[in-house]
Each structure stands twice: as structure tokens, then as C-alpha cells.
Amino acid sequence: MKPISTEALTGLLEQTFRHLHSDNYAKGLYPAQWAALRYFAQAHPSQRTPSHFAKYQGMSLAPVARTIRTLVEKGWLRKVDASGTTGKVAIEVTDDGHQLLTHDPAKAITVALDGLPDAERAALASGLERLLRALASQ
């Protein structure tokens, strides 16, 4: 197999991201809202806080808080007391939110990834993890 140039690989990543982002405006939700629903549905319970989600997204707390507030108002997320004593708030996906996630537009990429052999998925995951670490250290 011929090696791929870094420019060509960057182009492939850009096309993949563009596809994911353009398909992510669905069911009246913006991409950031889908990202929040996915995060809170999959995160460990101790990580289901606005601050953890902001860190995960690499964003400040203000836009994250707006996204969460909108999803709470629509009935797809709810705030719950996380500790009982410190006033921390945890975020949970409601039953309606879980139902909405069955129509998650990102599932198209999941299906495509399911079609890759295990070795290719492992190599892709390893490469993307290294890429993210390199980007985070800049």
C-alpha cells in the first residue's frame, strides 16, 4: 500500500469532519447540542458535570452552560444534585433525550466504522489519539 501524504490525510480528516458536522444539524438540534447529549449519555457519572463537559470540549463554561440550559428547557437533559453538600450539579439525559439519541446523525459514522476490520479500527484509534495529544500540547 502506497503511503499517504500528510496533506492528503489532512484532507480526508477535513472531509470526514465536514460530513459529521453538516449531518449533525438534525431533529432541530445544533452540532454542539448533539455533542452534549452524546457526552452526558456516555460519560461516567462522576464526569457528568458542566465543567467536565467544558473541559472535554475544550470550551469555556459559558457556551457549555447555554447548550445545557437549552437542552434542559427542551426536556432532553435534567440537572440533579451531585453531592448533597457541595451544591455541585450533575447532568442526566432524560428518557426523551435517550429516545432522541436513537436518531443521532453520528450513527452513520459508527456504522461505517463498524465495517472496518478490527486492525484498521485499532490503527485509526491509535493515530487519532496521538494526533489529539499532539494538538493538545501545542
Would you state the cell numbers that stand for residue 93, as one nine-digit string?
439525559
Instruction: Look up the pTM and report it.
Output: 0.77
Q: What is the mean pLDDT of residues 97-114?
A: 90
pLDDT at 39: 97
Would you state the cell numbers that stand for residue 124, as one nine-digit string?
485509526
pLDDT at 137: 85
Among 26-30, 51-55, 57-61, 92-96, where is mean pLDDT lowest?
26-30
CA distance 115 to 113: 5
pLDDT at 19: 76
Cα angle: 125, vertex 128, 132; to 5 degrees:
135
Helix (H) / strand (E) element for 59: namely: none
Pick from 111, 104, 90: nearest CA to 38:
104
With a pLDDT cut of 70, the percent of the chain lying above it is 92
pLDDT at 84: 57
Q: Which domains does the chain carry? A: 1-24+105-138 (no CATH), 27-103 (1.10.10.10)
Provide CB contacts within 8 A for 55, sequence distance 6+: none
6-36 residue pLDDT tens: 898 888 888 888 777 776 666 788 888 999 9
63-85 residue pLDDT tens: 999 999 999 999 999 999 876 54
pLDDT at 2: 80
| Average pLDDT of the chain, as a whole number | 88
Pick from 18, 39, 22: nearest CA to 31:
22
